[in-house]
Amino acid sequence: MARSSRLDDIPGLPARRAALRLLDAVLRRGEPLELALHGAAQGLAPADRALVHAIAAETLRHLPDLDALIDRATRQPLPGDAKARMVLRIALIQVLALGTAPHAAIATALPLVDGGPRKLVHGVFGTVTRAQPVLPDPPALPQEVVARWGEQWGEAMPEAAARAFGARPPVDVTLRDEGETALWAERLGGTSMAPGHVRLPEGTAIPDLPGFAEGAWWVQDIAASCPARLLGPGEGRVVLDLCAAPGGKTMQLAAAGWRVAAVDQSKKRLERLRENLERTGLSADIVQADLRQWQPGEQADAVLLDAPCSATGIYRRHPDVLHRIGPRQIAELAELQAALLDRAAEWVKPGGVIVYATCSLERAEGETQLAAFIGRRPDFAAVPAGTNELPEGVPPTPQGWVRTLPDTLEGRGGTDGFFVARLIRATTRV
């Protein structure tokens, strides 16, 4: 215990130890990076927490490239889950991506080996850094991801995904009043690709911008704005926004004149939704519930189901999904989505509309899911999305779905990967 306390007196070591815990939580236990951060960095100052997040996120972004450097410097490959490999990843990413001096990186790395092969770690680190390597741009995607996406979408898709992975994602905002699109595009110095949308210049500091404090807009990727766009004006009708938090779609629907019931299981995420509604001056009925048990009091005019999914479509901002998500997780989530779709279908009035969406690049969570649902429920039929309903450069598929891929809006900053489908319920059961 005394030895551990003395080690933690080394400047910067607690943050590196927390980064090691965080990467272990993501890579070994499959926990999402953002959720695992709180536990891994507990007790650290905000600046140290930010460093922990940066080390872990950049390690995950460049994991295949870091491992290639390590493997070229070792006679026998280190096991993928070996502590020595993990410590080397942390030390090298600081030098190669975060600007840390090599002596500082290794000084805070060796104590993390904790009785392991310190000599090996020191030797491999020295061999790699003396060669002064540069990390590839764009970063390499994990081979299993390349294979999976290539099989689903063709060989060009993983290449586009890698290019998108190497670029900083833009910041999109959705406006409370789409009639002021030109005004806010000018005030924010951005460009618009749809009514109610502005894409901001790179590096913009969000809270300092005009309109943020008074709730004139909120941050929302342009692809994530598409599901609510397909429901159009509410005109006082009732919509169930399922899996609603943190509230981007809820606010869109409320701003469009819908009476919104926003349902989500997470108390913490619903607190953010409440804060967002308060800031924007919009209103919705908020319900904390598990959709697998919850039932609405009556059927609604429309339902928006932003279903729990693999989140592989937001890999640019969340590189951990590339390492946490595989065929087993995708299959489990697709099963949950099917169950939620079947429940939500009963909550739509005859003649009403359901919009199904996932921020996923997996067909099992999009195209295949919807085909199976329509097969089960012939009383639902597709209502194709029109080009006038979608942002510039986001065309509907031949089936009328919305599918954004890594090359969507390429050259204009790109967008998240999304699948969106709109269905109408027949007035009589088929």
Q: What is the CATH number of the domain that holds 26?
A: 1.10.940.10
Domain of residue 243, CATH code = 3.40.50.150
Q: Which residue has the tokens 């997996």?
A: 362
State whether the Cα torsion 340-252-399-326 is positive or negative. Answer: negative
Selection from 70-74, 117-121, 207-211, 302-306 with the highest mean pLDDT: 302-306
Q: Is the pLDDT of residue 150 over 80?
A: yes
Indicate whether 125 and 248 sit together in one domain. Answer: no
pLDDT tens-digit readout, 357-393: 999 999 999 999 999 999 999 999 999 999 999 999 9
For residue 373, tell me if it sits in a domain. yes
Indicate whether 385 and 255 sit together in one domain. Answer: yes
For residue 402, give the H/E element and its range: strand 402-404
C-beta separation of 301 from 239 below 8 A:
yes
For residue 142, tell me if it sits in a domain. no
* Catalytic residue positions, numbered: 359
Query: Which of 131, 147, 172 finishes a domain?
Result: 131
Q: How far apart are CA 418 and CA 421, in angstroms?
A: 10
User: Tell me, what's the pLDDT at 77?
Assistant: 78
For residue 184, tell me if it sits in a domain. no
What is the arithmetic mean of pLDDT over 60-86?
Answer: 89
246 is in an annotated binding site: yes
379 is in an annotated binding site: no
Q: Is the pLDDT of residue 414 over 70?
A: yes
Query: Which of 131, 148, 169 finishes a domain?
Result: 131
306 is in an annotated binding site: yes
Q: What is the CA radius of gyration of the chain?
A: 23
Q: What percent of the chain has pLDDT over 70?
A: 97
The residue type at 116: G
Pairing, β 259-264 against β 402-404: unpaired
CA dihedral in degrees (97, 100, 104, 108; nearest 10)? -50
406 is in an annotated binding site: no
For residue 67, tell me if it sits in a domain. yes
User: Tell me, what's the pLDDT at 76?
Assistant: 80
Confidence band, pLDDT 50/70/90 cuts, at residue 75: confident
Q: Is the pLDDT of residue 351 over 80?
A: yes
Indicate whether 127 and 226 sit together in one domain. Answer: no
Closest residue by Cα to residue 382 from 365, 402, 363: 402
**Assigned token pair, 244:** 């609603």
User: Tell me, what's the pLDDT at 9?
Assistant: 65
User: Tell me, what's the pLDDT at 1?
Assistant: 40
Q: How far apart are CA 427 and CA 424, in angstroms?
A: 9
Instruction: Give how many domains the chain has, as a whole number.
Output: 2
For residue 17, tell me if it sits in a domain. yes
User: Tell me, what's the pLDDT at 8?
Assistant: 58
pTM greater than the 0.85 cutoff: yes
pLDDT tens-digit readout, 334-343: 999 999 999 9
Indicate whether 266 and 390 sit together in one domain. Answer: yes
HSE toward the beta carbon, residue 210, CA cutoff 13 A: 8
Indicate whether 261 and 389 sit together in one domain. Answer: yes
166 is in an annotated binding site: no
Confidence band, pLDDT 50/70/90 cuts, at residue 429: low
Confidence band, pLDDT 50/70/90 cuts, at residue 54: very high
Indicate whether 272 and 396 sit together in one domain. Answer: yes
For residue 264, tell me if it sits in a domain. yes
Query: Which of 131, 151, 180 finishes a domain?
Result: 131
**Assigned token pair, 190:** 């951005």
Confidence band, pLDDT 50/70/90 cuts, at residue 297: very high
Q: Is the pLDDT of residue 269 over 80?
A: yes
**Assigned token pair, 283:** 């209103």
Indicate whether 120 and 228 sit together in one domain. Answer: no
Q: How far apart are CA 402 and CA 355, in angstroms?
A: 11
What is the arithmetic mean of pLDDT over 288-303?
Answer: 96
For residue 167, tell me if it sits in a domain. no
User: Tell me, what's the pLDDT at 105?
Assistant: 95
For residue 380, give the H/E element and its range: strand 380-382
What is the arithmetic mean of pLDDT over 6-31?
Answer: 88
301 is in an annotated binding site: no
247 is in an annotated binding site: yes
State which residues form the domain around 408. Answer: 222-425
For residue 355, tell me if it sits in a domain. yes
Confidence band, pLDDT 50/70/90 cuts, at residue 208: confident
